[in-house]
Amino acid sequence: MDEVWWQQAKKIGSIVKTTGPFMFLKELINQPQFTGAICPSSKRLGRHMAKHVPLDSDGIVVELGGGTGVITQALLNHGIAPERLYVIEFSPAFARHLKERFPSVNVINGNAALLDMLLPPGVKINAIVSSLPLISLPKDTCNQIIKQWHALMQGQGPVIQFTYNLRSPLWKTHIHARHYHSEIVWGNIPPAKIMTFRF
């Protein structure tokens, strides 16, 4: 009886360790500057971000900072075909989780500051959807990411970024783009501001 109980306890423990909140907490402790939040994004935030991605283009959609996959799932639910979705994730643990959860999605373990080297050459980008914690990233890294947006998205689709700074985050001053939409998702913890840019 004890052996059966122990096996069940081990099985439950292994399941808990692969759930989003547990993985998120572990990465928050291990890499706080790259996690930038106290809990995973909500499904509501994912839906609000995904709705800004146009569906009338044959380009790819790039998600930066896939984390536990909440926004990845929202993008798929929105109608983005898995083979057209490229998810860039810096954390090896999150990248492994995303590859297992979304086997048909292109998940790349890499640095968003080197985005042009991670995508197929000359690919058309329909949209970039970013969950990167730009506020907490080193200034040089943040600036390099924004330079990538400028270089890759000239005349193409939108860049959709959320922030927990509900006023005007400092990184926004480095973006030379037409900021044409913002909204606050109060149902997220903490509340998040979604900003959409076109270059």
End-to-end alpha carbon distance in the chain = 64
Split into its structural domains, the chain has a count of 1
Calculated CA dihedral for residues 198, 190, 29, 18, nearest 10 degrees: -90
pLDDT attached to residue 32: 53
What is the predicted pLDDT for the residue at 30?
A: 55
Closest CA to 60 of 102, 134, 121: 121
Residue ranges for the chain with pLDDT beneath 70: 1-40, 169-171
pLDDT at 114: 97
Query: How would you list the strands of the sheet with 192-198, edge to edge?
Result: 106-109, 85-89, 60-64, 125-130, 159-163, 192-198, 178-185
User: What is the pTM (predicted TM-score) of this model?
Assistant: 0.79
Q: For 79-91, write each residue's pLDDT tens digit.
A: 999 999 999 999 9
Q: Which of 158, 165, 142 is nearest to 196 (CA)?
A: 158
Angle (CA) 80 64 24, round 5°: 105
| CATH number of the domain that residue 193 is part of | 3.40.50.150
Position 135 scores a pLDDT of: 86
Q: What is the pLDDT of residue 14?
A: 45
Which range marks the domain in which residue 151 is found? 2-198
Residue 185, helix vs strand vs coil: strand
pLDDT of residue 16: 37
Amino acid 81: pLDDT? 97
- Rounded CA-CA distance 22/60 in Å is 31
pLDDT of residue 63: 98
Give the pLDDT confidence score for residue 7 in this predicted structure. 54
Report whether 124 contacts 61 (CB < 8 A): no
* pLDDT recorded at residue 57: 82
- Check residue 102 and give its pLDDT: 98
